[in-house]
Amino acid sequence: MTRSLNGRTAIVTGAGSGIGRAIAIRLAEDTAKVAIWDINAAGAEETARMIRDAGGTAIAIDADCSDKAAIKAAADRTRAELGPVAILVNNAGIAPFTPFLDIDDDLFDKVIRINLRGPYLMTKEVLPDMLAAGWGRVINITSSSVQSGSFAQGHYVSSKGGLMGMTKALGLEYAASGVTFNMVPPGFIDTPMLRAAPIDADAFAQTLPMKRIGQPEDIAAACAYLASEEASYITGQTISTNGGRYMGSH
């Protein structure tokens, strides 16, 4: 079922490939005007072209989604070309594997900057648009590793755990405003990032209850619901999209 987003403007960060690309395409199918933000300019343009070729509205913006000045410039361009921002999907992130005692301080700071400080800056930039409209959706892509832990990813899980906490805090703070804050923690999803990880993805998939790797479109579907009118009474919540890997409430 298509849930019309009524031409609202959406930003999806890290949408030049993988999960971000699938989210952007799905929101465009649901009639959002989508700004594709990615540090990979060629990937962002390819995603935007895919949306336009299918009859949707999209622009590609080369932006470092953890840099305050870059975020401001990209947001100004997004507003100028598409209008005030109504939907934000904080998807951009990095997921290195490093044994804990081998994590140097600079790497830890980098992961926090991109995965946690970036969404903080993104949300601060666009939230006034949503508050002015009395309607908004912020969807944070966290990680099932926050729920279960992940080997040699102390930095990554810490950053995503912080993003989970921020989502709940802002969901509470802005619950009466018409703006919702929710999160989708992907499980084992078939993306370029997964294929580059130092694990045997297909073998690991057999350890999951569903015995298969998820697809980016699975995450996009969860985001599409949270972005829709039908999710107006949901905030601070988690839609765990993981093939049964984790069945807890958070």
Does residue 3 have a pLDDT over 70? no
What is the average pLDDT across 93-101? 96
Instruction: Identify the sign of the CA torsion 244, 245, 249, 250.
Output: negative
Q: CB–CB of 34/10 below 8 Å?
A: yes
| Amino acid 1: pLDDT | 46
> What is the tens place of the pLDDT at every residue in 162-179?
999 999 999 999 999 999
| Amino acid 60: pLDDT | 98
| Amino acid 236: pLDDT | 98
3-state secondary structure the chain: CCCCCCCCEEEEECCCCHHHHHHHHHHHHCCCEEEEEECCHHHHHHHHHHHHHCCCEEEEEECCCCCHHHHHHHHHHHHHHHCCEEEEEECCCCCCCCCHHHCCHHHHHHHHHHHHHHHHHHHHHHHHHHHHHCCEEEEEECCCHHHHCCCCCHHHHHHHHHHHHHHHHHHHHCCCCCEEEEEECECCECCHHHHHCCCCHHHHHCCCCCCCCECHHHHHHHHHHHHCHHHCCCCCCECCECCCCCCCCC
156 counts as catalytic: yes
Q: Are strands 179-184 and 33-38 parallel, antiparallel or unpaired?
A: unpaired
Q: Is residue 247 part of a domain?
A: no
Does residue 199 have a pLDDT over 80? no
Quote the mean pLDDT of the chain. Answer: 94
Does residue 220 have a pLDDT over 90? yes
What is the average pLDDT across 8-21? 98
Q: Is residue 135 part of a domain?
A: yes
| Amino acid 201: pLDDT | 76
| Amino acid 153: pLDDT | 96
Does residue 91 have a pLDDT over 50? yes
Q: Is residue 240 part of a domain?
A: no
CATH number at residue 75: 3.40.50.720
Does residue 203 have a pLDDT over 90? no
| Amino acid 187: pLDDT | 86
Residue 14 to residue 82: CA distance in whole angstroms: 18
Q: Is residue 244 part of a domain?
A: no
Domain count within the chain: 1
Task: Give the active site residue among 120, 156, 225, 233.
Answer: 156
What is the average pLDDT across 95-112? 97
Which single residue is written with the structure tokens 């703070």? 173
Q: Is residue 50 part of a domain?
A: yes
Does residue 2 have a pLDDT over 70? no
**pTM, full prediction:** 0.96
The one-letter amino acid at 209: P
Q: Is residue 243 part of a domain?
A: no
Q: Is 76 left (phi over 0), alpha (psi -120 to 50) or beta?
A: alpha
Q: Is residue 1 part of a domain?
A: no
Q: Is residue 52 part of a domain?
A: yes
Structure-block tokens of residue 238: 């988690």
The whole domain housing 81 covers 9-231
Highest mean pLDDT among 3-7, 81-85, 186-190, 208-212: 81-85
